[in-house]
Amino acid sequence: MATMMLTSTLRGATGMIPHALPGLHGGRLAYITTAAAVEPWGFAHTMLTRRQLRQLGFRVTELDVSTAAAPDVRSTLSDADCIYVGGGNSFFLLQELRRSGADALLAERIADGIPYIGESAGSVIMSPDIGYCSIMDRTDRAPGLRDYKGLGLTDFHVVPHLGNPTMGQAARLIVERYSTELDLRALTDRQSLLVRDGGTTMLQS
C-alpha cells in the first residue's frame, strides 16, 4: 500500500518524519530537485534541503529530471528506499516529470510501497489536477505543459503554505476560489498529511 507524507516545508516536518516513517534512518533517499530549478532561490533551497535530509540520517542522491539522462532517472528511483520531491514551481515539475517519464516511475515505486515525501510542489503534483495552483505558481515556467492533470495518487488537492508570510495570501485565495469545487487540504508550514493504507491523518509539529 502507498505511504506518502505530504508537507508544506521540510523544516516544519523534520520532527515528524522519523515517527511517521520509521525504519528509514541510513536509507537511500532520491531527492528530486527539479521544482526549484526555475526559482531564483532554488540553489540555496536545494543546498539547505540536502543538509536537512542528511541530518535526518538519509543517504541522499540528488536528481534533476529536467537534465538527467533517462537511465540515471530510472536507476536513481529504482535504487531508492525513499523518494523526496522538493518545492518550487509545480507546473515546471509536472512538465519535466512527464517529459522524462519519471511520473510513471514515481507512481510505480509508490504503488510498490516505497515511502514518498512531498514538499510544497512535491505535494501538489499528487492531486488529480494542479490547475488550482496557478494562483500560487507561474504557469509560464512550463510552456510545454498542455494540461494540468496531476499524478492523481490522492483524491484531494493539497494547498501548501497557509499563513506563510510570502505565499500565505495565494494559499488563502486558492481556498476562497476553489473550496466549493474541489476537496482541498490546506496546510500551514508546520502541518503534514500522512497518507497510508487508504487513510489520511493530519500531523502537526
DSSP classification of residue 2: -
Say if CB 70 and CB 100 are below 8 A apart.
Answer: yes
Active site residue 161: yes
Catalytic member of 45, 100, 127, 161: 161
Residue 26, Ramachandran bin (φ over 0: left; ψ between -120 and 50: alpha; else beta):
left
Catalytic member of 120, 123, 127, 192: 120
Crossing angle for the helix pair 102-111 and 90-100, to the nearest 10 degrees: 90
Active site residue 120: yes
What are the grid coordinates assigned to 202, written together? 493530519
For CA atoms 171, 172, 176, 177, the dihedral sign is: negative
Q: Smallest Cα–Cα separation from 87: which of 55, 133, 20, 151?
A: 133
Residues tagged active-site: 120, 161
